[in-house]
C-alpha cells in the first residue's frame, strides 16, 4: 500500500491555544519541547518480599499552586480499585472545593512507603486549577519532584493508538467491523474471525504476551536478568504477535473481555499497513504536533527518558535498582509513551471535547463492554462509574516501577492526571484510591 501524503493536523496548534492559561514559551509549540529532546508493556504487579522502605518518604513536598476557586482478572480489579466503592448514577465530577486536601493525599501516599514520589494535576475548562507533587526524584533524596516532569505513561499509550485508528476509520480507510485478516493477512490465526473493533476493546481473545515470563519475568532470577540484559533488548511487534498467537486464545472472538497488549501491537501494525508509516510517526503527526504536546513522545527503541523526570525503581531481594532506562520496543503501540501531566490533560480535553475525532468515531470510542467492578472498556478508553462522582473516562498506565492515571468528565471539560513511582510489592489501585477520588471528585 502506498504511503499516505504528509498528514495534515486534525486540529491546528493555534486551535488549541485557548486550552492554555498563558502563551507557550519557546517558539512553535508543535516543534519544540520544553524539556529538550523530543518501555515496555504494562507489567503485572511483581511479587517481591523483604522490600526495604524507600528512602526519603518523608521528604518535603514541592510547592503547590492552587486556583482561586480489565478483564475479570487482576487488571479489572485494579481499575475498579482506583476508586473504591460501587457504581452509582452518573452525575459528573463535582466542584473544586475538595482540592484543598490534595497535597495531603499526595504526601500520605509517599508516607505509606508505597511510592518514592507522586504528582497530580487538575485542569478545568483549559486552566490548571491545581498541581502538586510529593516525595523525591531519586533515592539520593537531594531533589524534590517537579509536578511538571516527564514520566512513562504505559498503557495510556493505548488511547493515543486507538485515536489514530479511529481517525483512519473516519477517513474511510479502516472499517471497525472488518476482519483483521483484510488488513494484516496471515498475521493472526483466525484473523478472519477477529474484527478491528475487537482488538481495540480487548474482546479478541488473543493471548497476552505479558503473561509469558520471557517477556515479563516475575521471579528473582528473571528480574535480575531483565535488569542486566532484558531491558536493553529490541523487540519486533510482528515477532511478538507470532509468539503470542502460538498460544491458545482465552476464548472465541467477541465472547468475553480479556486485557491483552497483543491487541494493541496489532493495532500499531494496522496503522503502519494502512498509512505506510509507523504508529509512532502517525501519533506524532496526527496528535502530538497538532495539539502542541511539547513534552510527549512515542519512542521506538531509545531507552532514554530525557528532560526533567523522577526515577523509577525495581526492587529486588538484594535491594532497589534504578529501572528508569529501558528499551520501549516491547511495549510498542501498547505502552511505549512518555508524557507529562499537562500534556495528558490537554490530549484528553481535545479528545473528549471533539477536537480529534468526528462525532461518529468518538461515539464508537465511548461504546463499552462490561468489565465489572464498576469499570467498562471502550476503544482504548475506560469508563469508571464512581460513587459520589459519577461517570469518568480515561485510562490507566503501568510499567516497571511506575503507575499513571488520566481521567475526566465525558465532555472533556475537567481532566485529572496522577502518577507515581512504585516501590516494591504495591497494589497501586489501593494506595492511589484516596488521591484519585479527591482529585476527580473534590
Buried b (16+ CB within 10 A) or exposed e, 335-353: bbbbbbbbbbbbbbbbbbb
Is 155 an annotated catalytic residue?
A: yes
CB 151 within 8 A of CB 339: yes
Cα–Cα dist 64/173, whole Å: 46
Q: Is 6 exposed, middle or buried (0-12, 13-18, 19+ CB in 10 A)?
A: exposed
**CB 144 within 8 Å of CB 110:** no
432, three cell numbers: 492511589
Report how far residue 393's alpha carbon sits from residue 362's, in angstroms, rounded to the nearest whole number: 12
Phi-psi group of 27: left, alpha or beta (phi > 0 → left; psi -120 to 50 → alpha; rest → beta) = left
Q: Are 270 and 276 in contact (CB under 8 A)?
A: no
- Rounded (to 5) percent helix, strand, coil in the chain: 35, 20, 50
Q: Cell 475538595 sits at which residue?
A: 98
**Count H helices, E strands: the chain?**
15, 13
Task: Say how far apart CA 130 and CA 119 lie, in whole Å.
Answer: 11
SS3 state at 245:
coil
Angle subtended at Cα 221 by Cα 56 and Cα 41, rounded to the nearest 5 degrees? 70
Alpha helices in 191-278 (DSSP H): 196-200, 220-228, 237-244, 261-275
- Of the residues 57, 71, 137, 155, which is catalytic? 155
- Which are the catalytic amino acids? 155
Amino acid at each position: 500500500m502506498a504511503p499516505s501524503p504528509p498528514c495534515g493536523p486534525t486540529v491546528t496548534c493555534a486551535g488549541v491555544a485557548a486550552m492554555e492559561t498563558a502563551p507557550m514559551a519557546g517558539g512553535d509549540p508543535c516543534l519544540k519541547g520544553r524539556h529538550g529532546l523530543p518501555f515496555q508493556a504494562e507489567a503485572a504487579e511483581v511479587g517481591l518480599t523483604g522490600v526495604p522502605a524507600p528512602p526519603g518518604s518523608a521528604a518535603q513536598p514541592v510547592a503547590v499552586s492552587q486556583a482561586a476557586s480489565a478483564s475479570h482478572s487482576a487488571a479489572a480489579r485494579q481499575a475498579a480499585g482506583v476508586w473504591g466503592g460501587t457504581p452509582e448514577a452518573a452525575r459528573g465530577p463535582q466542584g473544586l472545593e475538595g482540592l484543598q486536601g490534595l497535597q495531603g493525599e499526595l504526601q500520605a501516599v509517599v508516607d505509606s512507603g508505597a511510592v518514592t514520589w507522586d504528582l497530580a494535576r487538575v485542569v478545568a475548562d483549559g486552566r490548571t486549577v491545581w498541581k502538586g507533587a510529593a516525595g523525591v526524584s531519586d533515592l539520593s533524596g537531594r531533589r524534590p519532584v517537579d509536578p511538571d516532569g516527564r514520566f512513562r505513561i504505559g498503557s495510556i499509550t493505548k488511547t493515543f493508538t486507538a485515536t489514530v485508528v479511529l481517525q483512519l476509520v473516519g477517513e474511510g480507510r479502516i472499517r471497525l467491523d472488518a476482519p483483521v485478516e483484510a488488513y494484516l493477512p496471515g498475521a493472526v490465526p483466525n484473523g478472519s474471525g477477529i474484527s478491528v473493533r475487537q482488538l481495540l476493546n480487548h474482546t479478541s481473545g488473543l493471548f497476552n504476551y505479558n503473561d509469558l515470563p520471557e517477556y515479563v519475568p516475575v521471579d528473582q532470577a528473571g528480574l535480575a536478568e531483565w535488569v542486566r540484559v532484558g531491558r536493553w533488548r529490541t523487540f519486533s511487534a510482528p515477532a511478538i504477535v507470532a509468539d503470542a498467537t502460538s498460544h491458545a486464545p482465552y476464548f472465541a472472538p467477541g465472547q468475553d473481555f480479556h486485557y491483552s497488549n497483543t491487541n494493541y501491537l496489532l493495532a500499531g501494525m494496522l496503522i503502519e499497513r494502512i498509512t505506510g508509516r509507523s504508529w509512532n510517526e502517525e501519533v506524532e503527526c496526527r496528535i502530538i504536533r497538532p495539539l502542541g504536546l511539547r513534552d510527549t513522545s512515542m519512542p521506538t527503541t531509545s531507552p532514554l527518558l530525557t528532560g526533567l523526570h523522577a526515577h523509577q525503581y525495581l526492587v529486588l531481594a538484594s535491594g532497589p535498582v534504578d529501572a528508569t532506562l529501558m528499551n520501549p520496543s516491547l511495549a510498542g503501540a501498547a505502552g511505549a509513551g512518555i508524557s507529562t501531566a499537562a500534556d495528558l490533560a490537554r490530549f484528553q480535553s481535545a479528545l473528549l471535547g471533539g477536537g480529534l475525532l468526528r462525532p461518529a468515531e468518538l461515539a464508537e470510542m465511548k461504546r463499552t463492554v462490561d468489565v465489572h467492578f464498576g469499570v467498562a472498556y471502550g476503544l482504548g478508553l475506560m469508563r469508571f462509574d464512581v460513587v459520589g462522582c459519577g461517570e469518568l473516562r480515561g485510562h490507566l498506565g503501568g510499567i516497571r516501577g511506575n503507575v499513571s492515571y488520566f481521567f475526566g468528565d465525558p465532555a472533556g471539560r475537567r481532566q485529572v492526571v496522577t502518577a507515581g513511582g512504585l516501590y516494591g510489592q504495591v497494589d497501586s489501585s489501593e494506595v492511589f484510591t484516596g488521591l484519585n477520588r479527591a482529585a476527580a471528585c473534590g
